[in-house]
Structure 1
């Protein structure tokens, strides 16, 4: 079968013929239909410092996907051939304290699909049945392909109650835009998103935010005044990983404000912890999705009318992966989809 492989310890990706994966105990064999390109995949393509320590070659990339089940191992229940599925890309041990307590998203021995195990950028994929999410209601294939990052957005946006609250989102990447849309859909009064990309701020406006603020030309304080806020933001969603973004967010929270942080910084940086303490601000780190409560919420949000189509801005045949990756890396885009049927 064809697969997109990190074949060498250098920059680049290679479209190669590799053996079809063999179905193991408790697993499901999936024919991949579409995949989404993630920032993690871009890191692996450039083979930066993180990728060099995280990925052993050769490795089939990819963890955002939708596909059709073609075979299940003996004893697998609730997943059947013909089912349309996506998958949870964090494979957990099932034995540690958190796994046994039902907190699988906190497993200390998590293996990442497409990082520690061959992934979804291929014509076929195997995955433990316990990691498979069956789409029980109709869903657009492009949207189903990005359930993984959509789950990051939902997990972050719903970490704290947002009904009637004023929400600040720093970072208008695709996940930040989806998180802003989720917060608005879930009942936030105002949702302001910040970035330095006019293109992505425009995408956020089309997704229904109250205010998309270019922080090159305006401050968050000015944004608060435009929205008529007297004190500060109740909930912050930090999606950029930028030091200045978190510092500005902390400075503009109301007392007792709550911040969920998904953005991953490239290095350590200082913040004003005196402000965090005296304003009684809560900081919560977010990684991945809650299994599978977040997935349930994702499906219900879509059933309830949340429209993610505007955040998907490009689709390519998998054979044109270089052009797709170039567009994704350029930043003037939303989510980019690879079609494995074209």
Structure 2
């Protein structure tokens, strides 16, 4: 099968032929249809310090995907050949204290798909059945492919009550954009999102935010005045990992404000802890998704009309992966999708199935 592999300890990825994975005990084999390019994948392609210190090569990369089930191991229940599925990319041990208590997202022994084991940028991938999410309702495969980052957005956005609240989101990358869509959808009063990319801020406006602010030309205080806010924001969703953005968020919170922080800083930096203490601000770190409450929330949000389609801006065949990665690395786009189905796709997503999807559906019905 074809797969995108980090073959050598240098910048780049290589599209090569590798053996198809075999289903192990309790696993499911999936024919990949779509994949999403993540910031982690960009780090791996660049082969930066994090990648050099983390990866064991060679490695098939990628962890955002959807596909059809083509094989299940004996004893696997509730998953059938032909099911359209996405995958939870954090594979947990099931035996540590947090796993045993049902807090699997806090497992300290987590193995990352496409980081610590071969991933989903390939024609086939295997996963433990417990990591497979079956889409029971109709869903566009492009949206199904980004359930992993969508889950990050939902986990972050729903960490604190949002109904009637004023919400500040720093960072309008794909996950920040999805978090903005969620906050607006569930009933926040005002949602202000900040970035320095006009292209990404335009995407945020399509998602219905109250204000998309370019902090290269306007201050957060100016944004607050435009929204008529006098006491600061109730909830902050930090998606950038940028030190300046974090400091500005802390300075802009109301007393008793709550911050959920998903953005991962590249290095340590100082913040105004006196303001955190005297303003009684709560800061909560977010990593990944709650298994599987977040996945349930995602499916219900889409079922109840949340539209993520504006977040997906670019689609490429997997054979054009270099152009796709360059586009994702530009910092001016939303989500970039790779098509592994072998069928041509229009620029905008269609509800019509590809040949591979139609074949899988027919096989399941037979």
Q: SS in structure 1 opposite 2:125? A: strand
Q: Give the equivalent residue in structure 1 for 2:117.
A: 117
Task: Note the 1:59-70 alignment, pairs <5 A.
Answer: 59-70=59-70
Distance 2:216 2:23 in 1: 52
Q: Give the equivalent residue in structure 2 for 1:172.
A: 172
Q: Give the equivalent residue in structure 2 for 1:263.
A: 263
Task: Note the 1:129-208 alignment, pairs <5 A.
Answer: 129-208=129-208
Residue 325 in structure 1 maps to residue 320 in structure 2: no
Q: Give the equivalent residue in structure 2 for 1:71.
A: 71
Show CA shifts across 1:250-299 (max 9, x none): 00100000000000000000000010000000000000000000000000
Name structure 2 gaps, 5 residues minimum. 343-366
Q: CA deviation at 1:15?
A: 0.2
Q: Give the equivalent residue in structure 2 for 1:99.
A: 99
Q: Give the equivalent residue in structure 2 for 1:218.
A: 218
Q: Give the equivalent residue in structure 1 for 2:341.
A: 341
Q: CA deviation at 1:6?
A: 0.2
Q: SS in structure 2 opposite 1:52? A: helix
Q: SS in structure 1 opposite 2:9? A: coil
Q: CA deviation at 1:186?
A: 0.8
Task: Note the 1:247-262 alignment, pairs <5 A.
Answer: 247-262=247-262
TM-score normalised by length of structure 2: 0.93
Distance 2:75 2:331 in 1: 45
Distance 2:209 2:178 in 1: 10
Q: SS in structure 1 opposite 2:94? A: coil
Q: Give the equivalent residue in structure 1 for 2:238.
A: 238
Name structure 1 gaps, 5 residues minimum. none
Distance 2:38 2:276 in 1: 32
Q: Give the equivalent residue in structure 2 for 1:280.
A: 280
Q: SS in structure 1 opposite 2:290? A: coil
Show CA shifts across 1:228-251 (max 9, x none): 011000000000000010100000
Q: SS in structure 2 opposite 1:5? A: strand
Distance 2:161 2:200 in 1: 26
Q: CA deviation at 1:200?
A: 0.3
Number of residue pairs matched by the alignment: 342
Q: SS in structure 1 opposite 2:294? A: helix
